[in-house]
Amino acid sequence: MLELDECRGGTEASDALVLFGVTGNLARKKIFPALYALAKRGVLDVPVVGVAASQWNSAQLRQRAKDSIAKSGGIDDQPALSQLLSRLHYVSGDYNDPETFQALKKVLGDARRPAYYLAIPTALFATVIKGIAAAGLADHARVILEKPFGRDLASARALNRVARSVFPENSIFRIDHYLAKEAIMNILYFRFANSFLEPIWNRNYVASIQITLSENFGIEDRGAFYETTGCLRDVVQNHLFQIVALLAMEPPTYREFGAVHDATATVLKAMRPLKAEDLLRGQYAGYRKEPGVAKQSDVETFCALRLFIDSWRWEGVPWYLRSGKYLAETIAEVIVQLKPPPQRLFADAAPLSGSANYLRFRLSPNSAVALAARVKRAGQEFIGDQHELYLLDERPGEEGPYERLLGDAMVGKGALFTREDSVEAAWAVVAPVLKDHQRVISYSRHSWGPKQADALIKADGHWHNPIHGQA
C-alpha cells in the first residue's frame, strides 16, 4: 500500500514543541485547538514552549490557550485541557536578541530533540533559524515553517539556503495545511484507487478544470500582514497549486509517499509561467479603509487565473483558478469539465447547453465527490436532465489539518509537507506576474469577484459558482 509514514529527521519523536509567534492569530485560531485535540488523544506528552515579543508570562499564555479552545469548539475534556495547560511555558523576547534564545534554552532544560514551529512572518524565518543555531539548539531538532515560504523565487531560494545551513532537508517541514485536509487526501485516493478514471483523465476527454477557493469574510485584523502578501502569495502559489498538482500528477512509480512528492513536483515544474493576460486581480470594496492598509493599496484580495501544464497528459487543457476574500460563499470546490460526446445525437445535449458531464470535488466546508450524468426523462421524447451521482461524504471525527500536521511533524512523518523543489517550482510559475500585472479592479462584497474575471474563462464556458449547503 502507499506508505504514509515517510519518516524524516530520524525516527525518534520530538521531546519538546516550541511555538514562535505563540501570541498571534494563527496560534489562537488553529494551533491551540490542534494541541487540545492531540492532548485528548493522549499523544501530546512533551513540554510546549511559546515564544513571542509580547510581555506575557506563562499564566497569561495558558489563559489565552484556554480561551482559544473554548471559542473554537468548546471544552469537553477537562483532564486533557488541564494536562495541556500544565505543559505550556512562555518566553518573552526579541527574536534579534541572543538572550531570547538563551532563555529558551533554559526553559527547554533536558530536551534534546525539540521541534520548532515558526508561526511568524516569513521575513523573520532566517532571523529565528540563525538564533536557534547560534544558541546551540539545532542539533537533532526539527523545524516547521508556516506558509507562505518566501515572497518570491529569490527569497524562497535564500530561505532554503538558510534553513539547510542549520537543518538537514529531512528535518525541515514546510506546512501547507491544505495538504492535510481529508478532502484533499481523498483526491489522491480517488484518482488512483479506481480504475475507471484513468482512461479519461487526460487532454482527450477533459475540456477544462476549475478550482474555486472562496471566503465570505475579509482580512479581519490582518491588514498589515495582507499588505505584504496578497491573494496570489497567500493562497494561489501554495494551496491552489498543490491541489492542481494532485489532480494532474502521473501515477506514483513506487508505493511510498516520496513517489507522490516526485510526481507533484514534476507537475509544478511543467506549469507554464503566468503572463499578465493570464491573471486578473481584484480588491473588495472598502479594503483600503481596513486598519493597516495603505490608502492607495494595489494589493489583491481576489485572483482569477488561467493556467496551462506543458505535459503529454494535459497539453492544451486550461486550468482556471480563483480565490478571494469577501466572496459570496466560504467554500472550496473543483470542477473537472469533460468534453461532450463526439456526435450530437440528442437536441438537448448541445455542447453549449451545459449538458456535458463533469466530476465535482467538494473540498470544504463539507467533503463530497459527485459525477454529473444525463438521464432521460420518462416519455417518448429523447430529452433528459443532468443529475449528480453522489459518491462520498465526510465522516465525523476526522482529524483537523493542524492536528494532523503537528502530530506528524513531531514524530518525523513528512508525507503531508511540501518539498524544497516543489516550493521553488511554484514560485517560478507566478514569478513573472508578481510585479508585471494590471492594477486591481474593485468588486462588491459578497459577490463572486470582478465581472472582468468572466473574460478569462469565456472561451471554455463560465465559472461554476458553488452553492453552500449543496452536497
Which segments within 21-112 are labelled E, that is strand? 48-52, 88-92
Residue 434: strand, helix, or coil: coil
CB count within 10 Å of CB 380 equals 5
Q: How many angstroms separate the CA atoms of 294 and 290, rounded?
A: 9
Q: Which amino acid is at 204?
A: N
How far apart CA 31 and CA 46 sit, in angstroms, is 15
Distance CA 434, CA 429 (A): 10
3-state SS assignment for residue 212: strand
**What does the alpha-carbon distance between residue 223 and residue 225 come to, in Å, rounded to a whole number?**
5
Of the residues 89, 177, 239, 437, only one is catalytic, namely 239
SS3 98: helix
Length of the chain: 471
Q: Which H or E run includes 208?
A: strand 206-214
Active site residue 239: yes
363: alpha, beta or left? (left if phi > 0; alpha if psi -120 to 50):
alpha
The DSSP call for residue 468 is: T
- Which residue numbers are catalytic? 239
